């Protein structure tokens, strides 16, 4: 017969087994993703069951796929509900995939913009002649939005204008 202490593990051992840090486990406990075991009166050390290590691994794997802690909490709630349907998990995964695809499209746009800026950069001289700084200065101005405020986060017309101007300036130099 196994002793209970060989089944249960300390926070340090649980962290190693799950591939996370001790502070990560404490953070998950504060966020309600992992239950903090009761503190035994005799030894003073908390002991975690194998189910907690499995849950920590689940959280880590879900984070590696890009799920936020809120989304992971929802997945864990589905896992705990006996009447859950895998269709709900599929919907969550499809939404995450769509989010990642949007982010990738934005990254491709950022890459193209940076390539354009770098192509127009003289690579030396004073900052007053720096085409990159000039473009960033023009891109950083907020524009009025339809709701009366400013729309600095969605400043695409100004960005396109600044990039067109950079291309035109580059052609004038060539």
Q: What is the pLDDT of residues 121-152, one digit of tens each?
A: 888 888 888 888 888 888 666 656 555 555 44
**Quick one: what percent of the chain has pLDDT higher than 90?**
56
The reported pLDDT for the residue numbered 35 is: 94
What is the spatial distance between Cα 81 and Cα 72, in angstroms, rounded to a whole number?
14
Instruction: Give the pLDDT band (50/70/90) at residue 102.
Output: very high
DSSP 121: -
DSSP 140: T
Residue 15: which residues within 8 A CB-CB, separation 6 or more? 21, 22, 24, 25, 56
pTM score, whole prediction = 0.68
**Which has the closest alpha carbon to 57: 87, 24, 10, 97?**
24
Domains defined along the chain, listed by start: 4-84 (1.10.1660.10), 114-173 (no CATH)
Q: What is the pLDDT of residues 6-48, one digit of tens each?
A: 588 999 999 999 999 999 999 999 999 999 998 877 767 889 9
Q: Residue range 49-58: average pLDDT?
A: 96
Q: What CA dihedral angle connects 158, 162, 167 and 171, to 10 degrees?
A: 130
Place of tokens 């192509």: 119
pLDDT reading at 120 higher than 70: yes
The reported pLDDT for the residue numbered 147 is: 55
The reported pLDDT for the residue numbered 5 is: 47
The reported pLDDT for the residue numbered 67 is: 96
């Amino acid at each position: 017969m196994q002793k209970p202490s060989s089944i249960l593990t300390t926070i340090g051992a649980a962290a190693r087994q799950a591939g996370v840090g001790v502070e990560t486990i404490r953070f998950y406990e504060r966020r309600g993703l992992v239950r903090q075991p009761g503190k035994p009166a005799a030894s003073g050390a908390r002991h975690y069951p194998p189910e907690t290590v499995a849950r920590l691994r689940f959280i880590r794997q879900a984070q590696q796929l890009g799920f936020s802690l809120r989304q992971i909490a929802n997945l864990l709630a589905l896992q705990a509900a006996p009447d859950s349907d895998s269709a709900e998990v599929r919907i969550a995964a499809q939404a995450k995939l769509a989010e990642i695809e949007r982010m990738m499209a934005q990254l491709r746009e950022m890459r193209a913009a940076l390539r354009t800026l770098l192509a127009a950069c003289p690579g030396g001289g004073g900052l007053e002649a720096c085409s990159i700084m000039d473009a960033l200065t023009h891109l950083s101005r907020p524009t009025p939005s339809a709701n009366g405020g400013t729309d600095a986060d969605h400043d695409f017309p100004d960005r396109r204008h600044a990039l067109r101007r950079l291309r035109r300036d580059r052609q004038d130099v060539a």
